[in-house]
Structure 1
Amino acid sequence: MSLKDIDVKIEYRSLLHNIANDFYIPVLNKAVSYDRAVGFFSSSILASISNGIDGLARNGGEIRLVTSPYLSEKDKEAIRKGYENRHEVVKNALLRELREPQNDIEQEQLNLLANLISDGILDIKIAFTEDTTKLGMYHEKLGLIRDSDGNVIAFSGSMNESENALSANYETIDVFCSWKGDQERIAAKENAFQSIWNDTEPNLVVLDFPEIKTEIINKYKRENLDYSHSPSYYRELIKYTIPGAKIPDGFVFHDYQKKAIDTWVHHNYCGIFDMATGTGKTYTGLGAISRLNIDLRGHLAVVIVAPYQHLVEQWVEDIEKFGMKPIIGYSSSSQKDWKNRLENAIRRQKLNVKGAEFFCFICTNVTYSSKFVQETINKIKGDCLLVVDEAHNFGAINLRKYLNPIFNYRLALSATLERHNDEAGTEALYSYFGDKCIEYTLEMAIDNGFLTKYHYHPIFVNLTDEELTDYYKLTKSIQQCIKKGKDGKYTITEQGKRLTLKRSRLVSAAQNKLYALRQEISPFVAENHILVYCGSASLKDFHSDTYPVDEDEIRQIDAVTDLLGNQLNMRVSQYTSREDIEERKILKEQFANGDILQALIAIKCLDEGVNIPSIKIAFILASTTNPKEYVQRRGRVLRLYEGKQYAEIYDFITLPQKLGNAYSATEAELKIGLELVRNELKRAFEFARLADNYVEADLKLQRIRDVYNITDEISEIREDFDYYD
């Protein structure tokens, strides 16, 4: 608990900084004492810095405040002419200021003030200048903040102790730190405050008014406050008086979500929510937005970015629940004038137009990276927050350059932030967004009941002779595209990357998967809530607002549709980018109902963002070696749904040849085939590890390890061929 842990600037200007959030709250949370001498005091300051006050109170700290009363001309005349005792005049002036609270917010603020006094945390003295003919207001403004290690921050400047000074006026404070060589200045400030507090400062009168403090307690104290709890009591009430994001009435966060938001706040509203699919990332993100908006009194610009159009629309539904009316930006947005809306929102906010203090803009990755949006958001002045959903995408070279420094507050959401085989991209994300505020894994979510349990069924499928020949040829060609650099690291050429993608598609669309699917799905032809997943998400096309697809995937999904719909007479529909947003919405409703639609046949819908919690049985035909993709697919299937006790996952494991034929393969063929086997096993063992039928699934996978003589633990398998993925 040290002030040294905070990046304290040498000065703060209210039009450039949020003085409450950037200075007051962080330092007071580390403090054990706060001395303040100001010319004007208002209880409204307690709402703006209450996070810090709470922290200081939890630390067992104390506050000493010296301030001036408001004296009318009649008061001054009475003192000057000696009509009344000076002490009585000042006391009556102070009592006049103890007005009835105008609303619930003021009542809570004044309740906090009364509690701080009654608990011995806050002591107030009144100061004014006086000579033989007149009495004046004390105008000096200085502050001293100390931590338990003896570190001291001193500050002085034009700012009074009021909310207006923090947010509305143009104010400046200069800051000095004892650990930065400012000891002499700090000693001078400390001596000055002690002289004021002890009433030894020349031409200054400082009086204690115990009767005023008693009156404040009697008049305003409603209930005892427990300073160990955060956030403060005022926050839930104050949200009704500010524009923009706010938590809906009756909405309750889980403890892990509350902790994530609190940690994000304490990291100066920057960080990463690394949360498994289905654990409420979106709601936690919206809770964070609401918290920041309340702390900033509704003066905030929010930009939310999601990969695809359908994800933007999913966000919009939830955004509106949290009191926001978003500007929706993408190529086919229902808001045809979204560009004008965005420009007007930024212009009106900059001009401080009443009611325009807050705005929210949500768009796709493609729209966000457009020249128009980048030039427009660069015109934002003041506090702004960037929220990126599926943030791992922004580690890619073509997107990371748009991690704009204009955003002083940042939040990344992802179930799998670490980028597969891309350390530089992963590091770029941490560098921009900051540390993880929560890491809530899929295993934790299952154990805690936030995702459903599941059974895992690995289904072995081998390549045909023709496919295997093509696989061997492609692998040999890929090997020729791998170059060793001077640093000893291997890289792959662009031609090699294209060949790798072609090989991945070959495995994904293996012909024998259709025969295996027919056999495995036959017992379920009368069941509902079935999903058949086709296609790999190996290729990310950032020039499209919708899912990228390729011809192999189209051929596979059409073949699966024919199998289920025509041959097995099931009620099925495709769920791809070829269906527009409204069609997909209807399909989800019909699928959840079950009577109209038994099965969805999808391309890529399990990879990012689509929320279809009613899935109970999933047949995953696509092969992938990217942990991000297969972790997300599993999480989509495990979302909670009424009546869903277990999920069933059928995962089609692609092998070079039938297990019995592997013994007759040459050493070279086995080596090439071993790459595919190991990559498939990594995914399979991860799926099996958390399954309720782990023993059964593990025994089945053990057969593959025995045939291919894989004796090392799957977690220790060397990633010799990762550059092929």
Structure 2
Amino acid sequence: MSLKDLNLKREYRSCIDDIAKKFYIPVLSEGNQYDRAVGFFSSSIFSQIYKGINSLIKNGGRVRIIASPNLSEKDIVAIREGYAKRDEVIKNSLLRELKKPINAYEEEQLNYMANLIADGYLDIRIAFVENDIGFGIYHEKVGIVHDSSDNIVVFTGSPNESATAIVDNYETMDVYVSWAEGSEKDRITDKLNAFEAIWNDIEPRIKTLEFKNVTDEFVKRYKTKSVDYHGYTEIDSGIEVKEKAFFRIPENIELHEYQIKAIDNWFTSQNCGIFDMATGTGKTYTALGALSSLSKALNDDLAVIIVVPYQHLVEQWVEDINNFNVQPIKAYSYSGNKWRKEFQEALNLYNRGIVKNFCVVATIATFISDDFQKLINGFTRNFCFVADEAHNFGAQKTRNILPLKARYRIGLSATIERYGDEDGTEALRKFFGKTSIRFTLKDAIINGFLTKYYYKPVINYLSQDEYDEYEELTKKVTKLCKSSHEEFENSDYLKMLLIKRARIIAGCKDKIKNIAQLMEEHKKENYMLVYCGTNKYESSITDCESDIKQIELITKKISDIGLRVRKFTSFEDRNEREEIKAMFSTGFQIQVITAIKCLDEGVNIPNIRKAFILASSTNPKEYVQRRGRVLRKAPGKKFAEIFDFITLPRKLNEVKYIDNSTKECDMTLIKKEIDRMREFAEAAENTNAVDDLIESIYQAYGIL
């Protein structure tokens, strides 16, 4: 047979035709040369058209591909502005795409492609447009197939050269054949000449380059074994591919008894449950151990979606997951990330049973996006949904899109209860199920998983101006509290008042004086952390030229005392954060870290010996997490000290001069501060540290 003997249509549409089976495979099987110019190329195409490609190779043929580099916006700017050499930027972008295969099926695809390159059957060149502004993307889509009888088939249209393009997207292709009469022959000639001109780098305004060092690296990374093209069948999508073991506990990790019990309870509850575990007690490893047991029980036939609050936690999870024998897809926005394509292709293969497993780790911001929701709703087979810091998922926007299709579910949190949000807490319990384990911070200290600590309250007093503002806000809050239940529950104005009032407490100016005094007393010590609030101070009350955030002012004060200090906030990128952590761990390069909220969830800096908490909300979740962060064990760390900055409305010897209504206003603040002191003191070595203070407060206010 030849190309001329095929019964080809003039047009193919993916909604009607199986483009791979009806066009690609029969055409390539009769060919001996395949030329493809395309905007995007992926090795996944081989899973769909392998039979055709392999037949073409057995016919003595070869494949030539012209594709565009996958440049980020930063890459393009660097080229246009002359910050970096064009060829070097393109080479780095190509190397950046050489990622580890996500499963055995993809590994097989890449090995096949690497063999084609190594054996001289596949040649790839990179093209881009040189224009008036310096650089543009080459995005033509044309394919040309020759056979041994000089018959030619040309196709043009929307599909890229990837599995997703020809299987899942809505794509169209127009087909032209050399044995047709009339203008069709001229069209084919034009396409042939254009391809050859681009391939040989003589097409005006289009630059074509070879990157032999990149193709050499591709072969080096992905060629795992040689291929016998005449007897090769393993990549055929109709033949089951043996997968690697999916999620296995490493030999160097041994779970504790309480973690094993949590996993057993989770299985008893039909693999749905909440791991309510204090910070530092191994929530991540417990979840990965549960996934390992589930994967083994299901013969590794399992997809896993893990969602975490922040980008840095994605990276931490991925590092741990790698140790459990899995290479996950990272789903969040960063330069060069193609998670949508990777997720879509993995999902397609999983739903069709071609691959048995895959894993995605995403941020909450990505999880709630339309793109991610469309993909996660596309599952037609069972999968496991894991939510880290699961309390965050109780918010109205998030709880309404929790994936009900997930057959298996794990919610991880040190405090699953949402403060002041019973509906959110109930929604989480309804979705995730029963609590598989409750392992408190006190349990962790008693069992030696967290370090012991001493609790030291530091008393601060509101100034008259601060108190006047606090009192005015409290009166407005009290008035709202007397309104109807529905009005009270849904009041954005109330939330705004409470936030303003909390900021007064967090930003109490007395704290500036007291933290400076404490830092002076500890100026020769290391491993210190200062938690700050988000409020600002006006220039009129500081020695600064303009308004300044609390963390900026505190950092400046500490530096002025002579201590080596660095901020750890959302403005520092990942590399800066790693540098800060490394310098802090030495014990002398950095003595003090100042932080706001980004240390609350997931960041591990175990060397912290002394923590100064200037700002704590009334939400127990926040101060439980902060305490757990400080109590992580480290070599040479015998205990930790927590200096909690308590705010009182006035000095206790002044209480006798105020009236009862003012006392009532004072108590709205005092009660919350006492609740927190008791919570902190309960698990401390000096449990009675706050008893005398609380007693003196009650006596001053005449409370029995």
Structure 2 length-normalised TM: 0.62
Partner of 1:564: 558
Q: 1:483 deviation in Å?
A: 4.6
Name the CA distance, whole Å, in 2 between partners of 1:655 and 1:410: 44
Partner of 2:339: 338
CA contact (8 A) 2:613 2:642 kept: yes
2:533 aligns with one of 527, 535, 543 = 535
Q: 1:536 deviation in Å?
A: 6.2
Name the CA distance, whole Å, in 2 between partners of 1:536 and 1:286: 35
CA separation of 1:457/1:278 partners in 2, compared to 1, >3 Å: closer, same or farther?
same
Name the CA distance, whole Å, in 2 between partners of 1:441 and 1:394: 21
Name the CA distance, whole Å, in 2 between partners of 1:623 and 1:433: 29
Partner of 2:348: 347
Q: 1:150-204 CA distances to partner (integer Å, 9 max, x unpaired)?
A: xxxxxxxxxxxxxxxxxxxxxxxxxxxxxxxxxxxxxxxxxxxxxxxxxxxxxxx
CA separation of 1:243/1:381 partners in 2, compared to 1, >3 Å: closer, same or farther?
farther
Partner of 1:586: 579
Partner of 1:394: 393
Q: 1:689 deviation in Å?
A: 1.5
Name the CA distance, whole Å, in 2 between partners of 1:695 and 1:496: 36
Q: 1:373-426 CA distances to partner (integer Å, 9 max, x unpaired)?
A: 011111122220000001011111111011111100000000000111111111
1:439 aligns with 2:438: yes
Q: 1:229-263 CA distances to partner (integer Å, 9 max, x unpaired)?
A: xxxxxxxxxxx974321111221000000110111
Name the CA distance, whole Å, in 2 between partners of 1:260 and 1:536: 37
1:277 aligns with one of 276, 279, 294 = 279
CA contact (8 A) 1:243 1:358 kept: no
Give the letter for the 2:453 counterpart. Y
Partner of 1:259: 261
1:328 aligns with one of 325, 330, 349 = 330
Name the CA distance, whole Å, in 2 between partners of 1:512 and 1:690: 28
CA contact (8 A) 1:310 1:581 kept: yes
1:292 aligns with one of 254, 278, 294 = 294
Name the CA distance, whole Å, in 2 between partners of 1:438 and 1:704: 37
Partner of 1:422: 421
- Aligned pairs for 1:246-645 (under 5 A) are 246-332=248-334, 336-353=337-354, 356-485=355-484, 491=489, 493-535=491-533, 555-565=549-559, 567-645=560-638
- Aligned pairs for 1:49-64 (under 5 A) are none
Q: 1:682 deviation in Å?
A: 0.2
Give the letter for the 1:258 counterpart. I
CA contact (8 A) 1:483 1:491 kept: no
Name the CA distance, whole Å, in 1 between partners of 2:701 and 2:294: 55
Name the CA distance, whole Å, in 1 between partners of 2:657 and 2:456: 27
SS in 1 for 2:254: coil
Q: 1:490 deviation in Å?
A: 5.2
CA separation of 1:486/1:685 partners in 2, compared to 1, >3 Å: closer, same or farther?
closer
1:665 aligns with 2:658: yes
CA separation of 1:468/1:579 partners in 2, compared to 1, >3 Å: closer, same or farther?
same
RMSD of aligned residue pairs (Cα, Å): 1.9
Name the CA distance, whole Å, in 2 between partners of 1:635 and 1:250: 25
CA contact (8 A) 2:606 2:632 kept: yes
SS in 2 for 1:413: strand
Name the CA distance, whole Å, in 2 between partners of 1:284 and 1:618: 28
CA contact (8 A) 1:302 1:360 kept: yes
Gaps of at least 5 residues in structure 1 are: 1-239, 538-551, 712-725
CA separation of 1:274/1:553 partners in 2, compared to 1, >3 Å: closer, same or farther?
farther
Name the CA distance, whole Å, in 1 between partners of 2:689 and 2:484: 45
CA contact (8 A) 1:531 1:599 kept: yes
Q: 1:632 deviation in Å?
A: 1.0
CA separation of 1:363/1:338 partners in 2, compared to 1, >3 Å: closer, same or farther?
same
CA separation of 1:335/1:448 partners in 2, compared to 1, >3 Å: closer, same or farther?
farther
Q: 1:125-171 CA distances to partner (integer Å, 9 max, x unpaired)?
A: xxxxxxxxxxxxxxxxxxxxxxxxxxxxxxxxxxxxxxxxxxxxxxx
CA contact (8 A) 1:242 1:297 kept: no
Give the letter for the 2:361 counterpart. I
Partner of 1:45: none
1:678 aligns with one of 671, 681, 687 = 671
SS in 1 for 2:629: helix
Name the CA distance, whole Å, in 2 between partners of 1:319 and 1:328: 11
CA separation of 1:607/1:553 partners in 2, compared to 1, >3 Å: closer, same or farther?
farther
SS in 1 for 2:642: strand
Give the letter for the 2:553 counterpart. A
Name the CA distance, whole Å, in 2 between partners of 1:298 and 1:554: 54
Name the CA distance, whole Å, in 2 between partners of 1:459 and 1:679: 15
Give the letter for the 1:613 counterpart. P
Q: 1:192-222 CA distances to partner (integer Å, 9 max, x unpaired)?
A: xxxxxxxxxxxxxxxxxxxxxxxxxxxxxxx
Q: 1:554 deviation in Å?
A: 6.5
CA contact (8 A) 1:277 1:415 kept: yes
After superposing the two structures, state which structure 1 stretch, 698-707 or 461-470, moved more.
698-707
Q: 1:603 deviation in Å?
A: 0.5
1:699 aligns with 2:697: no
Q: 1:329 deviation in Å?
A: 1.1
Give the letter for the 1:562 counterpart. K
Q: 1:475-508 CA distances to partner (integer Å, 9 max, x unpaired)?
A: 1122233354379x95362111111111111111
Q: 1:495-550 CA distances to partner (integer Å, 9 max, x unpaired)?
A: 1111111111111111110101112222211111100000269xxxxxxxxxxxxx
Name the CA distance, whole Å, in 2 between partners of 1:336 and 1:414: 28
SS in 2 for 1:262: helix
CA separation of 1:533/1:463 partners in 2, compared to 1, >3 Å: closer, same or farther?
same
Name the CA distance, whole Å, in 2 between partners of 1:405 and 1:693: 46
CA separation of 1:553/1:262 partners in 2, compared to 1, >3 Å: closer, same or farther?
farther
SS in 2 for 1:272: strand
The number of equivalent residue pairs is 453
Name the CA distance, whole Å, in 1 between partners of 2:490 and 2:666: 20
Name the CA distance, whole Å, in 2 between partners of 1:335 and 1:257: 37
Name the CA distance, whole Å, in 2 between partners of 1:326 and 1:621: 38
Name the CA distance, whole Å, in 2 between partners of 1:367 and 1:398: 13
CA separation of 1:709/1:318 partners in 2, compared to 1, >3 Å: closer, same or farther?
farther
Q: 1:267 deviation in Å?
A: 1.3
SS in 2 for 1:246: coil
Name the CA distance, whole Å, in 1 between partners of 2:513 and 2:370: 48
SS in 2 for 1:611: coil
Percent of aligned positions with the same letter in both sequences? 45
CA separation of 1:554/1:321 partners in 2, compared to 1, >3 Å: closer, same or farther?
farther
1:649 aligns with 2:642: yes
Partner of 1:103: none
Name the CA distance, whole Å, in 2 between partners of 1:486 and 1:471: 24
Name the CA distance, whole Å, in 1 between partners of 2:525 and 2:311: 31
Q: 1:326 deviation in Å?
A: 1.1
CA contact (8 A) 1:302 1:386 kept: yes
SS in 1 for 2:555: helix
CA contact (8 A) 1:553 1:603 kept: no
Gaps of at least 5 residues in structure 2 are: 1-241, 536-545
CA contact (8 A) 1:243 1:357 kept: no
CA contact (8 A) 1:482 1:492 kept: no
CA contact (8 A) 2:307 2:362 kept: yes
